Amino acid sequence: MINFFFRRIAGLIFVIIGVTFIVHLFIHLVPGDPVDTIVGQSVSEEDRIELRKELGLDKPLIIQYFFFMKRLSKFDLGKSMITQKPISDIIIERFPRTIYLALTAFSISLLLGIGAGALTALFPRTAFDKTIMVIAVLGVSAPVFVTALIFRYLLAEKFSFLPPAGYGPIAFVILPAMTLGTRSAAFLARLTRTTLLEILSEDYMRTALAKGLTPARALFKHAFPNAMPPLISILILDLANYLNGSVITETIFAWPGLGRFALTAISQRDVPSIQAIVLVMAVTYVLAMTLADLARAWLDPRLR
Amino acid sequence: MMNMKFILSSIFVTLLIIGCGQDRDADPKYVRIAISSNPQSLDPALATDVNSGDILAKLFNGLVRFDGISVVPDLAETWTVSPDGVNYNFLIRKNVKFQNGRELTASDIAASFSRILDPKTRSKRTWVFDAVDTFFAEGNRFKMILKHPSAPFLSLLAMPTCYIVPIEEVNRLGDEFARRPCGTGPYRFVRWEDDRSVLLEKNKNYFEGAPEVEGIIYRIVPEPLTQTALLKRGSLDICEIPEMQIPVFRKDSVWKERIQTVDQLVTVYVAINTERFTDERIRRAFNMAIDVDKIISSIRNGLGTRSTGSVPPALMPEKITGFEYNPIEAKRLLKSADFDFNKKIVLLRSSVRGTLEPAEAIAGFLRDIGLKIQIEPMEFSAMRGRANKGDFDLCLLNWYADYADAENFIAPLFSSKNIGSAGNRSRFSDSETDSMIEKILSLCQGNERGSAIIAVSKRIIKKAPWIFLWYPRTAVAVSPRISGYTIPAIFNGDKGTKYKIVKREVRQRND
């Protein structure tokens, strides 16, 4: 296990270095001159050249990459071209908000998804099962902005239970978290149901029931542990998706997280910010995948 | 069943309890105004966007400011202009204090203007001073000498760029000044949380007397439907109504009384690449093919006026007429110009909200006269890049006034000196138009200039380098708890000194 752990971590470092390189390269492929973003187009050519020098844009790409990595090693992500704020400060300010939203959404999806999945697996092919699965199909296929507007209409406009948007105490997180969470909950419910049904038809489950366990007890004691490995990886990837900021949900609910920052940065051509966000997102994702692998290996020794 | 009822009612109660959470961005002590994006910068030298300009108007003052579309005194009490139109002499108001407590002097104005022109400041608005030769402070007077007379000059001085800053604060704070601005305006800066809100509180020492309200919260809410949801819930006081929501608001018993509309100093058009469509008959035909009134009534819910040339009517000395919808004549013109109907024409549009439906409608009308139109949506700056390079057939664009003068809708857009990114994206080049524009630029305000503006506008309509579409109108909903708000014609035309909160709480439930 320890050996496996170190191998994965070593691989991780290479992946992250690769990501930084690709990010750096991509940013330079995007049309448009960062100098335009900073000073506009009415500036003399000499001043532009001066500014390019100052920003290091006159150096070859590989040298620029070297400087970028050097700064990165000191956790310096540069300054936003638009707001002039250090990007690391912006990310430190916003990441907790996105984590807050992500964890709430994750809890909702976990409770609803696994719960509905387990219940339907206990009563397969009943009316209850069918109803839940129809809802789940709708949940998976409805785009986020539709679910967002439906939830908001019902819970904030029709009945004023919740604030329609904004950032603040617990009430504010519920609508965006529901929007995010129900989508993966629906997916999770279907996955839990199929996985559990498969396991429930195994011989050892029949043995468990034959020795007198109640179906619920058999489910929790024997079926769940065996259903966990595939679910865990889906759950962790979901969490990584939430952590990467949900541009649409954060925009609809005016949630000032990482997703909004990404959107603003892209629309304003704020190159250093885009670079930093992509990097943070990529690292989060890669870390989550590694975590998922490790968790699965821990739960299922055959995978090591 | 009993159990189910219990569960449902406890969910209901829990929701009610958590629903009562305080939203500090919606504090009813303040006037709460929605803006759709984070302001770029609160440093007058650096800000170029509408949202920043709106906020800066509350924090700072210039020599002059807009009242409607006319220029009125602000920090300058009065001014004189020499008969040749090149010497401006401003008398600076006394007893004006910056929010850091120091008194404003004429030399602050010189220092603020020099700062804009300093390349180190990296202002994108140095062109505002293009006509200026020199300026200096003399006692309580501030003098500016121009290279040549410039009719829109005072209008330019009312732009946010020309707001006066305390230079010692700028030096002390450096880049941070843009995040912690300090001016002379009716409100002072309190806090700015990115993508969330900007809070201003009243300046008790404002030279025209402190505003009546405690302050203003600008709430940054990108999605228009979210804005209206917040408004109806009572968490916002002032927000723009998206076109599609207009009928809903007009039917609503509370809100139909609370809608204000204003004609913006904006013109929406399709630039025709005049290098590809050299025959003006073809360009005129494009104009006649489109039923603009129909687009305004059906897509924009009436929010706009059909264009009569490029200049919005408020800035025109007298009314002129543009193109009428006449598809039969359009077809005849195309045939007489031997137009190749099999040629594929690409209409570029940006993927910005609100361009899809108009582009579809325009393409539809052009297809009706037999053209082969293909719409190409693109990311905004990529589209602008192509428009600047002239790499397009047709391109749906708009032009916002930088200052309230007809010239701003003529010279940048149609002078052959300004082809490309400077504004003339249809790459229109006509020597007669050029010399007419030169004439306008050299004339001071007056009848002669008025008739020159009319003459050039008529010439531009005749040459049809654009498909002239409409001047949009903005609709804003103002909560019943607020009085004293009028939508400004220009984004920085509202100082917010007349706002009043007449009722503390307005909470409307929809049922």
Nearest to B302 by CA among B491, B470, B485: B470
CB within 8 Å: B194 and A93: yes
pLDDT at B509: 44
Cβ-Cβ contacts under 8 Å, B38 against chain A? 83, 264
Pairing of strands B466-478, B482-483: unpaired
Is A83 in contact with B229 (Cβ distance < 8 A)? Answer: no
Collect all residues of chain A within an 8 Å Cβ-Cβ radius of residue B255: none
- B-facing residues of A in 183-242 (CB < 8 A) are none
Cβ of B174 under 8 Å from any chain A Cβ? no
pLDDT of B149 = 87
B1 has pLDDT over 90: no
B424, β-bridge pairs: B419
CB-CB: which of B16, B194, B221 is closest to A254?
B221
Q: Is the pLDDT of residue B257 over 50?
A: yes
Distances (CA, A) of B451 to A103, A122, B390, B458: 66, 85, 32, 11
Q: Which of A38, A159, A247 to mutate to test the interface with B (most CBs of B within 10 A)?
A: A159
Q: How many interface pairs between A and B have CB atoms less than 8 angstroms apart?
A: 134
pLDDT band of A236, cuts 50, 70, 90: confident
What is the distance between the alpha carbons of residues A108 and A235, in angstroms, rounded to a whole number? 12
- What is the band of B510 on the pLDDT scale with cuts at 50, 70, 90? very low
Q: What average pLDDT does this structure show over B242-255?
A: 90
The tens digit of pLDDT for each residue in B76-118 reads: 999 999 988 899 999 999 999 999 999 999 999 999 999 999 9
In the predicted model, is pLDDT for residue A41 greater than 60?
Answer: no
Of A158, A163, A264, which has the smallest distance from its Cβ to B510's Cβ?
Answer: A158
Flag whether residue A144 sits within 8 Å of chain B, measured between CB atoms. Answer: no
A90 contacts on B by Cβ (under 8 Å): 194
Task: Return the domain boundaries, chain A.
Answer: 16-73, 95-303
pLDDT score recorded for residue B385: 82
What gap in Å lies between CA A144 and CA A146, rounded to an integer?
5
Compute CA A22 distance to the chain's CA centroid, rounded to the nearest angstrom: 20
ipTM: 0.80
* Mean pLDDT, residues B454-459 taken together: 95
The predicted model gives A205-220 an average pLDDT of 83
Q: What is the pTM of this model?
A: 0.85
Asked if residue B511 has pLDDT above 60, the reply is: no
Cα end-to-end span (Å), chain A: 7
Q: What is the pLDDT of residue A33?
A: 67
Q: The CATH number of A95-303 is which of 1.10.3720.10, 3.60.15.10, 2.40.480.10, 3.40.50.300?
A: 1.10.3720.10
Among residues A181, A224, A183, A236, the alpha carbon closest in space to that of A200 is found at A224
DSSP notation for A164-213:
SS-S-SHHHHHHHHHHHHHHHHHHHHHHHHHHHHHHHTSHHHHHHHHTT-
Contact B175, A84 (CB under 8 A): yes
The answer to whether residue A103 scores a pLDDT higher than 80 is yes
Query: What average pLDDT is seen over chain B?
Result: 90
The C-alpha R_g of chain B, in whole angstroms, comes to 25
CA gap B127, B177 in Å, rounded = 22
